[in-house]
């Protein structure tokens, strides 16, 4: 999780910084859209990782119960 989430979060932060530095309105808007997209991907990566961990934990619990 950390790798994907961290990558996406870093890209979102970079886009936010670029938007802050932009002098042209269209560039600022583009970077803000990019930030929003990267943050969405980061949140999705985190949610997938949490679900995966939950599924693995449940499998392990079932295996323990069956043994």
pLDDT in tens, 14-61: 999 999 999 999 999 999 999 999 999 999 999 999 999 999 999 999
Q: Where are the domains of the chain?
A: 2-66
Q: What is the model's pTM?
A: 0.81
What string of DSSP letters covers 2-63?
HHHHHHHHHHHHHHHHHHHH--SHHHHHHHHHHHHHHHHHHHHHHHHHHHHHHHHHHHHHHH
pLDDT of 63 higher than 60: yes
């Amino acid at each position: 999780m950390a790798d994907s989430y961290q990558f996406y979060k870093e890209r979102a932060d970079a886009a936010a910084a670029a938007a802050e530095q932009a002098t042209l309105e269209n560039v600022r808007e583009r970077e803000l859209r990019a930030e929003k997209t990267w943050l969405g991907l980061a949140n999705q990566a985190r949610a997938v990782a949490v679900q995966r961990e939950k599924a693995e934990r449940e499998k392990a619990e079932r295996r323990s119960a069956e043994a």
